[in-house]
Amino acid sequence: MPDGCIWRIWLARKRYRMSGAMKRSPITLLFLGLVGLTLVTATIRAHQAAPEKVSGQGKLRFRVKYRSEHLPAEAQKVLKQAHGGFTVDRRGGKGETYFALPGAGILQISADLGSVKLLPTDAAMKDTNMHNAMLWSANKETYLTFPGNAVNKVFTTTLDGKLVNTLSAPTADTDLGNQTANDYFKAKGPFIPTDVEYLNGMFYIPTGYSKLDYVLTAKVTAGANFSATWNKLAFGGRGTGVGQLGTGHGVTIPQGKKRIDISDRPNSEIDRFTPDGKYLETVALPKGSFPCDTFYDGKYMVVGALHGPDRTKGAPIYILENDKVVSTIMAKEELGLANFQHIHNAIMRKVGKKLYVIAQAWNPGDFAILEQVD
Protein backbone atom coordinates (compact mmCIF):
# COMPACT_ATOMS: atom_id res chain seq x y z
CA MET A 1 0.00 0.00 0.00
CA PRO A 2 1.43 3.47 -0.90
CA ASP A 3 2.86 5.39 2.06
CA GLY A 4 0.58 8.39 1.45
CA CYS A 5 -2.49 6.18 1.66
CA ILE A 6 -1.40 4.65 5.00
CA TRP A 7 -0.91 8.12 6.43
CA ARG A 8 -4.43 9.19 5.37
CA ILE A 9 -6.03 6.13 7.02
CA TRP A 10 -4.01 6.67 10.24
CA LEU A 11 -5.08 10.32 10.31
CA ALA A 12 -8.76 9.43 9.83
CA ARG A 13 -8.62 6.92 12.70
CA LYS A 14 -6.85 9.37 15.00
CA ARG A 15 -9.46 12.02 14.36
CA TYR A 16 -12.15 9.47 15.11
CA ARG A 17 -10.56 8.42 18.43
CA MET A 18 -10.13 12.05 19.50
CA SER A 19 -13.76 12.84 18.75
CA GLY A 20 -16.31 12.22 21.44
CA ALA A 21 -19.17 12.99 19.13
CA MET A 22 -19.85 9.39 18.22
CA LYS A 23 -19.55 6.04 19.82
CA ARG A 24 -17.72 3.13 18.34
CA SER A 25 -20.17 0.85 16.64
CA PRO A 26 -20.08 -1.67 13.79
CA ILE A 27 -21.63 0.94 11.52
CA THR A 28 -18.97 3.51 12.40
CA LEU A 29 -16.18 1.01 11.92
CA LEU A 30 -17.65 0.03 8.57
CA PHE A 31 -17.71 3.70 7.61
CA LEU A 32 -14.03 4.09 8.45
CA GLY A 33 -13.21 0.97 6.50
CA LEU A 34 -14.98 2.31 3.44
CA VAL A 35 -13.10 5.60 3.78
CA GLY A 36 -9.82 3.72 3.86
CA LEU A 37 -10.77 1.58 0.86
CA THR A 38 -11.71 4.69 -1.10
CA LEU A 39 -8.38 6.30 -0.30
CA VAL A 40 -6.47 3.17 -1.33
CA THR A 41 -8.37 2.90 -4.63
CA ALA A 42 -7.90 6.58 -5.44
CA THR A 43 -4.18 6.44 -4.68
CA ILE A 44 -3.62 3.31 -6.79
CA ARG A 45 -5.46 4.87 -9.72
CA ALA A 46 -3.36 8.02 -9.41
CA HIS A 47 -0.21 5.92 -9.63
CA GLN A 48 -1.35 3.94 -12.68
CA ALA A 49 0.04 5.14 -16.05
CA ALA A 50 -2.23 5.70 -19.03
CA PRO A 51 -2.43 2.72 -21.41
CA GLU A 52 0.54 2.65 -23.78
CA LYS A 53 -0.23 3.68 -27.36
CA VAL A 54 0.85 0.98 -29.80
CA SER A 55 0.32 0.60 -33.54
CA GLY A 56 0.99 -2.21 -35.99
CA GLN A 57 0.27 -5.91 -36.05
CA GLY A 58 1.89 -9.11 -34.82
CA LYS A 59 5.55 -8.82 -33.94
CA LEU A 60 5.77 -5.57 -35.91
CA ARG A 61 4.03 -3.34 -33.39
CA PHE A 62 5.57 -0.02 -32.41
CA ARG A 63 5.35 2.74 -29.79
CA VAL A 64 6.83 6.24 -29.76
CA LYS A 65 10.42 6.33 -28.54
CA TYR A 66 11.49 9.89 -29.46
CA ARG A 67 9.62 12.95 -30.68
CA SER A 68 10.78 16.23 -32.19
CA GLU A 69 12.36 17.31 -28.88
CA HIS A 70 15.10 14.79 -29.73
CA LEU A 71 16.40 17.15 -32.43
CA PRO A 72 18.84 20.04 -31.92
CA ALA A 73 17.20 23.37 -31.14
CA GLU A 74 18.12 24.77 -34.56
CA ALA A 75 16.33 21.88 -36.24
CA GLN A 76 13.23 22.17 -34.04
CA LYS A 77 12.82 25.79 -35.12
CA VAL A 78 12.44 24.84 -38.80
CA LEU A 79 10.91 21.37 -38.46
CA LYS A 80 7.51 22.47 -39.78
CA GLN A 81 9.20 22.91 -43.17
CA ALA A 82 10.36 19.28 -43.30
CA HIS A 83 9.87 17.83 -46.78
CA GLY A 84 12.67 15.30 -47.19
CA GLY A 85 13.85 11.82 -46.30
CA PHE A 86 16.47 9.65 -44.60
CA THR A 87 19.46 7.55 -45.60
CA VAL A 88 21.50 5.11 -43.52
CA ASP A 89 25.21 4.31 -43.46
CA ARG A 90 25.05 0.52 -43.77
CA ARG A 91 28.81 -0.03 -43.74
CA GLY A 92 30.15 -2.31 -41.04
CA GLY A 93 30.61 -0.55 -37.72
CA LYS A 94 28.63 2.49 -38.84
CA GLY A 95 24.84 2.86 -38.73
CA GLU A 96 24.35 6.64 -38.65
CA THR A 97 21.25 8.09 -40.32
CA TYR A 98 21.31 11.35 -42.33
CA PHE A 99 18.71 13.83 -43.48
CA ALA A 100 18.38 17.57 -44.07
CA LEU A 101 16.04 20.37 -43.05
CA PRO A 102 15.74 23.69 -44.91
CA GLY A 103 17.12 26.43 -42.69
CA ALA A 104 19.13 24.02 -40.53
CA GLY A 105 21.16 21.89 -42.92
CA ILE A 106 22.34 18.28 -42.78
CA LEU A 107 21.63 16.28 -39.62
CA GLN A 108 23.18 13.04 -38.40
CA ILE A 109 21.35 10.62 -36.09
CA SER A 110 23.77 8.46 -34.09
CA ALA A 111 23.95 4.73 -34.73
CA ASP A 112 22.21 4.00 -31.42
CA LEU A 113 19.55 6.65 -32.24
CA GLY A 114 20.27 8.34 -28.93
CA SER A 115 21.47 11.70 -30.26
CA VAL A 116 21.16 13.99 -33.28
CA LYS A 117 23.68 16.61 -34.38
CA LEU A 118 23.91 19.25 -37.08
CA LEU A 119 26.69 19.08 -39.66
CA PRO A 120 28.31 22.08 -41.35
CA THR A 121 26.29 22.64 -44.54
CA ASP A 122 27.18 24.66 -47.62
CA ALA A 123 25.19 27.87 -48.07
CA ALA A 124 23.93 26.64 -51.46
CA MET A 125 22.11 23.79 -49.67
CA LYS A 126 21.33 24.98 -46.17
CA ASP A 127 18.35 27.24 -46.81
CA THR A 128 16.64 25.24 -49.54
CA ASN A 129 14.80 21.93 -49.41
CA MET A 130 16.60 18.61 -49.83
CA HIS A 131 13.70 16.41 -50.93
CA ASN A 132 15.42 13.16 -49.91
CA ALA A 133 18.89 11.82 -49.05
CA MET A 134 21.15 9.05 -50.33
CA LEU A 135 24.43 7.64 -49.01
CA TRP A 136 26.72 5.73 -51.37
CA SER A 137 30.31 4.60 -51.78
CA ALA A 138 32.65 4.30 -54.77
CA ASN A 139 36.43 4.38 -55.28
CA LYS A 140 36.95 4.00 -51.51
CA GLU A 141 35.02 7.20 -50.86
CA THR A 142 31.59 7.67 -49.28
CA TYR A 143 29.20 10.50 -50.12
CA LEU A 144 25.79 11.98 -49.40
CA THR A 145 23.66 13.08 -52.33
CA PHE A 146 20.55 15.26 -52.04
CA PRO A 147 17.94 16.32 -54.64
CA GLY A 148 17.30 20.05 -54.31
CA ASN A 149 13.81 20.14 -55.78
CA ALA A 150 13.27 23.89 -55.31
CA VAL A 151 16.58 24.96 -56.85
CA ASN A 152 16.62 22.36 -59.67
CA LYS A 153 19.95 20.81 -58.68
CA VAL A 154 21.42 17.63 -57.22
CA PHE A 155 24.07 18.16 -54.53
CA THR A 156 26.78 15.72 -53.42
CA THR A 157 28.77 16.18 -50.20
CA THR A 158 31.23 14.29 -48.06
CA LEU A 159 29.94 12.75 -44.83
CA ASP A 160 31.07 15.84 -42.93
CA GLY A 161 28.98 18.11 -45.15
CA LYS A 162 31.58 19.46 -47.58
CA LEU A 163 30.01 20.13 -50.99
CA VAL A 164 31.95 18.34 -53.75
CA ASN A 165 29.59 18.47 -56.74
CA THR A 166 26.46 20.19 -58.05
CA LEU A 167 24.57 18.64 -60.95
CA SER A 168 22.52 21.32 -62.69
CA ALA A 169 19.50 20.90 -64.96
CA PRO A 170 19.90 19.48 -68.46
CA THR A 171 20.15 22.19 -71.09
CA ALA A 172 18.42 22.45 -74.46
CA ASP A 173 21.45 20.76 -76.04
CA THR A 174 21.63 17.82 -73.60
CA ASP A 175 20.95 14.41 -75.15
CA LEU A 176 19.12 12.27 -72.59
CA GLY A 177 18.60 9.36 -74.98
CA ASN A 178 14.86 9.97 -75.14
CA GLN A 179 13.16 12.38 -77.52
CA THR A 180 10.35 13.28 -75.13
CA ALA A 181 12.85 14.20 -72.43
CA ASN A 182 15.03 16.10 -74.90
CA ASP A 183 12.06 18.11 -76.20
CA TYR A 184 10.95 18.89 -72.66
CA PHE A 185 14.21 20.63 -71.79
CA LYS A 186 14.43 22.29 -75.20
CA ALA A 187 11.10 23.88 -74.30
CA LYS A 188 12.69 25.05 -71.03
CA GLY A 189 10.72 22.70 -68.81
CA PRO A 190 11.90 22.75 -65.17
CA PHE A 191 14.17 20.05 -63.76
CA ILE A 192 12.60 19.03 -60.43
CA PRO A 193 14.48 16.12 -58.84
CA THR A 194 12.51 14.31 -56.15
CA ASP A 195 15.04 11.62 -55.21
CA VAL A 196 18.34 10.09 -56.31
CA GLU A 197 20.02 6.67 -56.14
CA TYR A 198 23.42 5.37 -57.20
CA LEU A 199 24.30 2.11 -58.97
CA ASN A 200 27.43 1.14 -60.89
CA GLY A 201 28.61 4.65 -61.69
CA MET A 202 25.15 6.06 -62.38
CA PHE A 203 22.68 8.38 -60.66
CA TYR A 204 18.97 7.58 -61.12
CA ILE A 205 16.83 10.68 -60.63
CA PRO A 206 13.00 10.71 -60.75
CA THR A 207 11.30 13.98 -61.71
CA GLY A 208 7.72 13.37 -60.61
CA TYR A 209 7.03 16.94 -59.54
CA SER A 210 7.27 18.04 -63.16
CA LYS A 211 5.15 17.20 -66.21
CA LEU A 212 8.11 15.22 -67.54
CA ASP A 213 7.93 12.47 -64.88
CA TYR A 214 10.83 10.52 -66.37
CA VAL A 215 13.66 8.88 -64.45
CA LEU A 216 16.82 10.58 -65.71
CA THR A 217 20.35 9.21 -65.38
CA ALA A 218 23.78 10.75 -65.00
CA LYS A 219 27.24 9.19 -65.20
CA VAL A 220 29.25 9.71 -62.03
CA THR A 221 32.99 9.53 -61.39
CA ALA A 222 33.89 9.47 -57.70
CA GLY A 223 37.21 10.43 -56.14
CA ALA A 224 39.51 13.43 -56.33
CA ASN A 225 38.17 14.47 -59.73
CA PHE A 226 34.50 13.98 -58.91
CA SER A 227 32.16 14.58 -61.84
CA ALA A 228 28.51 14.00 -62.75
CA THR A 229 27.29 14.39 -66.34
CA TRP A 230 23.96 13.63 -67.96
CA ASN A 231 23.60 10.23 -69.60
CA LYS A 232 21.66 8.94 -72.62
CA LEU A 233 19.07 6.98 -70.66
CA ALA A 234 15.64 8.15 -69.51
CA PHE A 235 12.60 5.98 -68.78
CA GLY A 236 9.11 6.06 -67.30
CA GLY A 237 7.08 9.07 -68.34
CA ARG A 238 3.73 10.44 -67.18
CA GLY A 239 0.81 8.08 -67.81
CA THR A 240 -1.17 5.06 -66.64
CA GLY A 241 0.31 2.44 -68.95
CA VAL A 242 2.72 -0.33 -68.02
CA GLY A 243 6.00 1.20 -66.92
CA GLN A 244 4.57 4.72 -66.81
CA LEU A 245 4.28 6.88 -63.69
CA GLY A 246 1.56 9.02 -62.13
CA THR A 247 4.10 10.86 -59.98
CA GLY A 248 7.48 9.13 -59.81
CA HIS A 249 8.38 10.30 -56.32
CA GLY A 250 11.00 8.06 -54.65
CA VAL A 251 13.69 5.77 -56.07
CA THR A 252 15.29 2.86 -54.21
CA ILE A 253 17.86 0.23 -55.15
CA PRO A 254 17.51 -2.68 -52.70
CA GLN A 255 20.71 -3.89 -51.09
CA GLY A 256 22.46 -6.55 -53.14
CA LYS A 257 20.12 -6.14 -56.11
CA LYS A 258 20.41 -4.43 -59.47
CA ARG A 259 16.84 -3.22 -59.59
CA ILE A 260 15.30 0.24 -59.65
CA ASP A 261 12.14 0.67 -57.54
CA ILE A 262 10.07 3.78 -58.21
CA SER A 263 7.28 4.86 -55.87
CA ASP A 264 4.30 5.81 -58.02
CA ARG A 265 2.17 7.90 -55.67
CA PRO A 266 -1.32 8.34 -57.19
CA ASN A 267 -1.33 4.83 -58.63
CA SER A 268 -0.65 3.33 -55.17
CA GLU A 269 2.13 1.12 -56.39
CA ILE A 270 5.86 0.46 -56.61
CA ASP A 271 7.11 0.02 -60.19
CA ARG A 272 10.29 -1.96 -60.76
CA PHE A 273 12.79 -1.59 -63.60
CA THR A 274 16.12 -2.99 -64.71
CA PRO A 275 19.14 -0.64 -64.56
CA ASP A 276 18.66 0.07 -68.27
CA GLY A 277 15.06 1.15 -67.75
CA LYS A 278 13.13 -1.96 -68.79
CA TYR A 279 9.91 -2.54 -66.84
CA LEU A 280 9.91 -5.63 -64.61
CA GLU A 281 6.85 -5.71 -62.35
CA THR A 282 4.55 -3.75 -60.05
CA VAL A 283 3.91 -4.15 -56.32
CA ALA A 284 0.37 -3.00 -55.53
CA LEU A 285 -0.40 -1.19 -52.27
CA PRO A 286 -3.84 -0.44 -50.78
CA LYS A 287 -5.66 1.95 -53.10
CA GLY A 288 -5.43 5.55 -52.00
CA SER A 289 -2.18 5.08 -50.07
CA PHE A 290 0.07 7.40 -52.15
CA PRO A 291 3.50 5.81 -51.41
CA CYS A 292 6.31 8.37 -51.18
CA ASP A 293 9.33 6.09 -51.03
CA THR A 294 10.53 2.61 -50.07
CA PHE A 295 13.26 1.41 -47.72
CA TYR A 296 14.57 -2.15 -47.42
CA ASP A 297 15.89 -3.71 -44.23
CA GLY A 298 16.55 -7.42 -44.49
CA LYS A 299 13.31 -9.16 -45.44
CA TYR A 300 11.17 -6.08 -44.82
CA MET A 301 10.19 -3.22 -47.09
CA VAL A 302 9.01 -0.03 -45.38
CA VAL A 303 6.74 2.41 -47.22
CA GLY A 304 5.80 5.84 -45.93
CA ALA A 305 2.58 7.12 -47.51
CA LEU A 306 1.38 10.65 -48.17
CA HIS A 307 -2.24 9.54 -47.75
CA GLY A 308 -4.06 6.46 -46.56
CA PRO A 309 -7.21 4.86 -47.98
CA ASP A 310 -9.15 6.68 -45.21
CA ARG A 311 -7.79 10.22 -45.12
CA THR A 312 -9.58 11.05 -41.87
CA LYS A 313 -7.17 8.76 -40.01
CA GLY A 314 -3.87 10.18 -41.23
CA ALA A 315 -1.36 8.39 -43.41
CA PRO A 316 0.00 4.87 -42.81
CA ILE A 317 3.46 3.40 -42.69
CA TYR A 318 3.33 0.00 -44.35
CA ILE A 319 5.76 -2.83 -43.59
CA LEU A 320 5.85 -5.50 -46.28
CA GLU A 321 7.34 -9.00 -46.33
CA ASN A 322 7.58 -10.80 -49.67
CA ASP A 323 5.79 -7.79 -51.20
CA LYS A 324 2.74 -8.25 -48.95
CA VAL A 325 1.65 -5.84 -46.22
CA VAL A 326 2.18 -7.52 -42.84
CA SER A 327 1.87 -4.49 -40.56
CA THR A 328 0.29 -1.05 -40.83
CA ILE A 329 1.39 1.70 -38.44
CA MET A 330 -1.05 4.56 -37.98
CA ALA A 331 1.07 7.30 -36.44
CA LYS A 332 -1.65 9.91 -36.07
CA GLU A 333 -4.72 7.85 -35.23
CA GLU A 334 -3.15 5.21 -32.98
CA LEU A 335 0.09 6.74 -31.67
CA GLY A 336 -1.25 10.24 -31.12
CA LEU A 337 1.28 12.00 -33.38
CA ALA A 338 -1.05 14.81 -34.42
CA ASN A 339 1.14 16.22 -37.20
CA PHE A 340 1.46 12.91 -39.04
CA GLN A 341 -1.47 13.47 -41.38
CA HIS A 342 0.99 13.03 -44.28
CA ILE A 343 4.11 10.86 -44.05
CA HIS A 344 6.87 11.85 -46.43
CA ASN A 345 9.49 9.25 -45.55
CA ALA A 346 10.00 6.29 -43.24
CA ILE A 347 12.93 3.92 -42.77
CA MET A 348 13.72 0.96 -40.53
CA ARG A 349 16.73 0.42 -38.30
CA LYS A 350 17.76 -2.51 -36.12
CA VAL A 351 19.55 -1.55 -32.90
CA GLY A 352 20.38 -4.45 -30.64
CA LYS A 353 17.50 -6.90 -30.88
CA LYS A 354 14.83 -4.30 -31.61
CA LEU A 355 13.55 -2.72 -34.79
CA TYR A 356 12.97 1.02 -35.00
CA VAL A 357 11.13 3.15 -37.53
CA ILE A 358 12.30 6.71 -38.18
CA ALA A 359 9.57 8.80 -39.79
CA GLN A 360 9.11 12.31 -41.10
CA ALA A 361 5.79 14.08 -41.58
CA TRP A 362 4.98 16.80 -44.10
CA ASN A 363 2.68 19.82 -43.98
CA PRO A 364 3.34 20.42 -41.17
CA GLY A 365 6.70 18.76 -40.86
CA ASP A 366 7.44 16.59 -37.86
CA PHE A 367 9.83 13.87 -36.71
CA ALA A 368 9.55 10.71 -34.61
CA ILE A 369 11.40 7.49 -33.85
CA LEU A 370 9.23 4.47 -33.11
CA GLU A 371 10.39 1.46 -31.11
CA GLN A 372 9.29 -2.15 -31.58
CA VAL A 373 7.16 -3.45 -28.72
CA ASP A 374 8.47 -6.56 -26.98
Nearest to 269 by CA among 246, 295, 237: 246
Measured between alpha carbons, how far is residue 113 from residues 118, 144, 247, 370 in Å?
14, 19, 32, 11
What is the CATH architecture of 55-372?
6 Propeller (2.120)
> Using CA atoms, how far apart are residues 373 and 61, in angstroms rounded to an integer?
6
- Work out the percent of the chain whose per-residue pLDDT is above 90: 86
Q: What is the pLDDT of residues 37-60, one digit of tens each?
A: 454 444 445 445 568 999 999 999
Q: What is the pLDDT of residues 141-195, one digit of tens each?
A: 999 999 999 999 999 999 999 999 999 999 999 999 999 999 999 999 999 999 9
pTM of the model: 0.88
When pLDDT is averaged across residues 188-216 and rounded to a whole number, the result is 98
> Using CA atoms, how far apart are residues 187 and 172, in angstroms rounded to an integer?
7
Q: What is the pLDDT of residues 233-250, one digit of tens each?
A: 999 999 999 999 999 999
pLDDT surpasses 50 at 231: yes
When pLDDT is averaged across residues 290-306 and rounded to a whole number, the result is 97
Confirm if 128 and 163 have CB atoms less than 8 A apart: no
Could you list the beta-strand ranges (E) of 242-342: 248-252, 260-264, 269-273, 279-284, 291-297, 300-305, 316-321, 324-330
Strands, sheet with 153-158, edge to edge from the N-terminal-most edge strand? 134-138, 141-148, 153-158, 163-167
> Using CA atoms, how far apart are residues 40 and 33, in angstroms rounded to an integer?
11
> Using CA atoms, how far apart are residues 214 and 243, in angstroms rounded to an integer?
11
> Using CA atoms, how far apart are residues 239 and 245, in angstroms rounded to an integer?
6
Q: What is the pLDDT of residues 301-353, one digit of tens each?
A: 999 999 999 999 999 999 999 999 999 999 999 999 999 999 999 999 999 99
Q: What is the pLDDT of residue 11?
A: 46
* H or E segment and range at residue 36: helix 26-47
Going by pLDDT thresholds of 50, 70 and 90, the confidence category of residue 24 is very low
* CB atoms inside a 10 Å sphere around CB 167: 25
Q: Which residues contact 76 (CB under 8 A, 6 or more apart)?
A: 68, 69
Confirm if 373 and 63 have CB atoms less than 8 A apart: yes
So where are the chain's domains?
Answer: 3-47, 55-372
Backbone angles phi, psi at 315, to 5 degrees: -90, 150
pLDDT surpasses 80 at 136: yes
